[in-house]
Structure 1
Amino acid sequence: MTAATAEKGLDAAAHAAVTIGRPAEALRTLWLDPETQAQIWTHFATVVPLDGRTADWRTHGPAGGDYRWRTEIADSGPDTIRWSSLDGADVPNTGDLSFRPAPGDRGTELHLNVRFDPPGGLLGDAVSKLFHIVPTEIVAHALYKFRALALTGEIPTTEPQPAARKGGADR
Structure 2
Amino acid sequence: MSAAESEADAATAASITIGKPASELRALWLQPDIQSRIWAHFAKVTPMSDRTAEWVARGPAGGEYRWRTATGDGEPDAVRWTTEDGADVPNVGVLSFQPAPGDRGTELHLDVRFDPPGGAIGQALSKLFHIAPHEIVRTALYRFRAIALTGEIPTTDPQPAARKGGADR
Interval containing the TM-score (normalised by the shorter chain): 0.7 to 0.9
Deviation at 1:77, TM superposition (A): 1.6
The root-mean-square deviation of aligned C-alpha atoms, in Å, is 2.6
Rounded to whole Å, the distance in 2 between the matches of 1:17 and 1:86 is 26
Match of 2:98 in 1: 100
Question: Which residue type is aligned with residue 106 of structure 2?
Answer: T
2:60 equivalent in structure 1: 62
Alpha-carbon shift at residue 39 of structure 1 (Å)? 0.1
TM-score (ref. length: structure 2): 0.85
Is the contact made by 2:116 and 2:122 (CA closer than 8 Å) also made in structure 1? no
Is residue 126 of structure 1 aligned with residue 122 of structure 2?
A: yes
The one-letter code matched in structure 2 to 1:63 is A
When structure 1 is superposed on structure 2, of 95-104 and 69-78 the one drifting more is 69-78
Structure 2 unmatched runs, 5+: none
Residues of 2 paired with 1:10 and 1:65: CA distance?
25
Q: 1:114 aligns with which of 106, 112, 115?
A: 112
- Distance (whole Å) between structure 1 residues aligned to residue 60 and residue 88 of structure 2: 14
Compute the displacement of 1:147 (Å): 0.3
* Deviation, structure 1 residue 138: 0.5
Q: Deviations over 1:17-75 (max 9, x none)?
A: 00000000100000000111000101110000111100000001111111000000124
Which SS does the other structure have where 1:149 is aligned? helix
**Matches of 1:91 and 1:127, distance apart in 2:** 12
Q: Distance in 2 between matches of 1:92 and 1:70?
A: 9
The one of 73, 83, 98 equivalent to 2:71 is 73
C-alpha change, 1:128 and 1:90, in structure 2 (3 Å) is farther
Distance 1:9 1:64 in 2: 26
Moved more, 67-76 or 86-95: 67-76
Equivalent residues, number: 163
**Distance (whole Å) between structure 1 residues aligned to residue 124 and residue 41 of structure 2:** 18
Distance between the aligned counterparts of 1:73 and 1:52, measured in 2? 9
Aligned partner of residue 26 in structure 1, secondary structure = helix
Q: Secondary structure at the match of 2:148?
A: helix
Task: Select the structure with the greater relative contact order (CA < 8 A; seq sep ≥ 6).
Answer: 1
SS at match of 1:39: helix
1:24 aligns with 22
Counterpart residue type for residue 18 of structure 2:
I
The 1:110–1:60 alpha-carbon spacing in structure 2 relative to 1, beyond 3 Å, is same
Unaligned runs of 5+ in 1: none
